[in-house]
Structure 1
Amino acid sequence: MKIVDRLYGEADLEPVLRDLIGSGSVQRLKAIHQGGAGFLVHPVWNISRYEHSAGVMLLIRKLGGSLKEQIAGLLHDVSHTAFSHVADDVFQMEDEDYHERVFENWVRNSDIPDILHTYGFTSEDILYDVQKWTLLEQPAPALCADRIDYTLRDSFAYGFADQEDIRSFLRTGLTVFEGEICCTSAEHAEWFARLYYKEVVDFFMDPLNVYALFTLSQMLREALDTDLISKQDFFKTDGELLAILKQRTSFRDKLEKLSTAKRRIKTGDKDDFTIHKTLKLRWIDPKVVANGSKVPASALSENVRLMKEQAVAAMKKGVYVKAAE
């Protein structure tokens, strides 16, 4: 099986990856928007969880990761609910980890264990201890395939970076040293850090995005409280869950109004706002291979240190959103 990705190009995949991609569990991710509720207010914010998951797998492959780690990369987000991290807001998960908390139980009740068993693998060996996969996941502020892929993918799709710059970074800017993804120079680390903070501050904190998240979360909470939906319904696709919400006239009207939100939403301030939203602190300090050792980019680049300080201040301040009726 061949797979083609807009960032990593074409790859021939092993049968186990082919069958996992063809499974109902992974195919479902094509109908889950990675940007949560954003697509309801801005159609271009339409990257799917599937595209990101396949991308993580391909990046691990490109970096020399084992087949098992590629499998873990492909499946790391398979338990995401409809609208991705919107569920974290609905269920008030401060660490934004609802999909991780339900991951093992979700996988055990899916078609994944049988597919893995067919090829001599087990979900227990590959999926339930993500810390063993040092390319796939690392705690912030380190680089990892998950963090790199969503930053580069969103940056390309939303116009923060062009394809050639991204492919140049993938060719020359990354290396694996002592089992960890590192940058090859301080300049490459600066380039990635700039994109990462543009993603976090300019996209995650975009007033239109915040408004969409707030509005949809309110509807989903009310739908739960009135038994229109159950927790299990969050494991449907975005479209399926929207169809249930639209059964109620008041929700249908609110969802239709979201389509015109771009004309009505602007940045407010602390004295005049409709919504105030702070963000989970996200920062990056890529390791750089220098003189045979790993050095934090902030020790080599004042720009990386300053970008972190400015971004953290923005996240702590949060975004004020003004919605006109």
Structure 2
Amino acid sequence: IKSLIDIDKKKIGLVHLDPESKIKTDNLSSQLSQHYAFQTTDLTRPFIPDIDVYLVSGAVDTLDSLVKENLESILNSGKRIFLTQSGVMTDITTQQANPVDSDIFDFLNNYGLKLQQNLVLDGRCSKVQVRERRGIFLMNRPMDYPFFPIIQSFNDDEVVVSDLEQVLPFFPSEIQIDTTENDRVAGVVELFKSSSNSGLMASNWMLSPDPQQNPFIRMLGQKGKIIAATSKLVNGGELMLISDSKFLADDGGMSVNDNLVFIMNAVDYLAGDEDLISLRSREITSRPLEELEDATRKKWKWANMFIPSLLVLTFGFFQMRKEKKHADILRQIYD
């Protein structure tokens, strides 16, 4: 209620680092406009000092010199940036991928965030529908797609993610944290990571979900990879990074309600208004069934086979005894 009636609302600026293919952000805009003064911002012009938080969608090419200078100025002035940046450009329709060639990586390195030009795979993942021919028919078959990880490992010490249930990025890349001492950086912390059944693809880009065509999606078993992290600066500024360039897009991250909860938390946190975070994160968005281990699954499989049969036999035995007893009584009466 406070944010809805606040006349002097904080300003949130949306920046596209790839001006040639601006993403649609209607879902995000409608949510943020209820609580903040939301506007699209152009960093190819002189720095606008009255924006409190910048939401920046990823680059695919070399940054304009003025854009890079303005990004530096924003952080040097103690402002906050939420950046969505992949290490690899992907196209699921053509199943093609290419590493991003941009100096955005140098910019991130200056703040202790080493974004890798790879793709993170996770055995705990969403499914995609794959069309396959069965006889004369074309049918959709759901298949696990490790390039769409379901993130459930969060940093409990960070209020922005501590109460989240899950986040679903698309084609994320690994973030490594640079622990080298930096005069501008007070500390870099992990926000969330993939599961302990993860993998990496850094070459031989194959995006097919079919394990028969793409054996690389089964090469898992590695420890969790960092997908989101934040660099907290000495001057109070902050640079938060999630390694998914389309996380703000209607046809990307913002098509998933869990992701919208996270981005709203991030904006509240970066804007210094954390009152709604715990309340919003407490909302139940997903209650997936717990995945069983192979041994446990086999036990339940055999139990499901034998227990119903045993119950039927037991019922039949007592029913037969009941009918036999009833027949004996009738025989005694008529004899």
Q: Tell which structure's C-alpha radius of gyration is larger.
A: 2
Question: Hey, which of these two has a bigger chunk of strand by percent?
Answer: 2
- TM-score of the alignment, normalized to the shorter chain, above 0.5: no
TM-score, normalised via structure 2 length? 0.22
TM-score, normalised via structure 1 length? 0.22
